[in-house]
Homo-oligomer: A and B are copies of this chain.
């Protein structure tokens, strides 16, 4: 006997703004979330982009019912409850605030904004919307890497004792070639910053996520190794950083080092995290995202050594929703799990995490990095008001 599958009505309608790299990743998440997680049902209603033909083609490929070039059409539609913003950063503030005010739940890709000022306005809008039951979240998808969620849980349970040192790096190499061409990502006006906003934002969010601690002060250096690149109209100046280094003091008493670069030849997507506590250490590398290395000083001395945990067991966060142990997940699965967490929060009335306020905190740290670097590394105290407001 054959039976039609009943519509998931009333499914939550989703619109994604943006259809390139992040739009593809978020579309993938919405298309798959109901297959793996028990959440409110979703419907892929609308994909929005600037190029009519390309957004239409993308909508077809990625499972959307409709496409549009006018993002404001989203605001009026009753069948769209969730707006997921995957545009370049300088558009985040306007889109997110408008959508929240129109009563839509909003997800914004990281970083929250290009400036602290924009981020503050967005956080304010999120607080006001939340009071009306309208939720929001910033898309730090690596919070949904099972290994990192497992790490957080171990730290919270005290497995590492007192955390003293964190060593973070996020290394890529797509700019290592001096002839790599100019893009909007290398201009300060459009990108805000370079490796800092792009890569350091993830690392700073992980510090806060893993430890539940706040950055108190920052001593930092930034550098641009290749100062000119071939642009569409001849050689053009690169106006953002290629790499950055920072030492961060946390309110917990721990000290974190941070190094980010898009010039690290041979590193493709290496978010590397090491956490040292009185009870052991944890080590993670995004290029092997299914693995977490755990050293436990409570083990007998002759048995101590970092255990390579393959984080694919039902006992691990998220893993049980996917495949049997040893059947590894890929990078894109983190977005699906992120969508699931967001939907679960909507379903239960809880506020999703990380919030816009979390995004704002990250933004403040990135800002402090730039201010310290401008003062040749002198420490910037985040608990003090900013003396020289940035434009």
Contacts and interface: CB of A to CB of B under 8 A. Distances in A.
Contact of A377 (B67, B176, B378): B378
Given A259-B257, A303-B307, A32 B21 contact: no
A305 B308 contact: yes
Interface stretch (A2-10, A83-91, A130-138): A2-10
A1 B72 CA distance: 10
A310 interface: yes
Interface in A252-300: 253, 255, 257, 259, 261, 263-270, 276-281, 286-290, 292-297, 299-300
A303 B279 CA distance: 14
A142 to B, nearest CB: 12
A6 B219 contact: no
A267 B247 CA distance: 20
Contacts of A294: 303, 305
Nearest to A36: B61
Interface stretch (A183-191, A231-239, A329-337, A344-352): A329-337
Contact of A8 (B5, B27, B60, B304): B60
Interface in A234-252: 243, 245, 247, 249
A306 B308 contact: yes
A338 interface: no
Copy count, this protein chain: 4
A391 to B, nearest CB: 24
A52 interface: yes
Nearest to A327: B331
Contacts of A362: none
A328 B147 CA distance: 15
Interface stretch (A92-100, A161-169, A201-209): A161-169
Interface stretch (A109-117, A121-129, A312-320): A312-320
A56 interface: yes
Contacts of A305: 266, 292-294, 307-310
B304 A306 contact: no
B332 A52 contact: no
B247 A221 contact: yes
B308 A308 contact: yes
A310 B287 contact: yes
Nearest to A381: B376
Nearest to A254: B225
Given A67-B2, A172-B326, A265 B32 contact: no
Nearest to A65: B5
A279 to B, nearest CB: 7
A261 B247 contact: no
Contact of A255 (B171, B243, B292): B243
Contacts of A259: 167, 257
Nearest to A63: B35
Instruction: Give the residue among A165, A299, A379 with the most B Cβ atoms within 10 A.
Output: A165
A67 to B, nearest CB: 5
Contacts of A265: 276-281, 295, 297
A59 to B, nearest CB: 5
Contacts of A293: 305
13 contacts: A3-B66, A3-B67, A5-B56, A154-B303, A176-B278, A269-B327, A287-B310, A287-B328, A303-B307, A306-B308, A307-B307, A328-B331, A329-B331
Given A2-B70, A266-B297, 8 more contacts: A257-B257, A265-B276, A265-B279, A266-B276, A268-B310, A268-B325, A287-B328, A301-B314
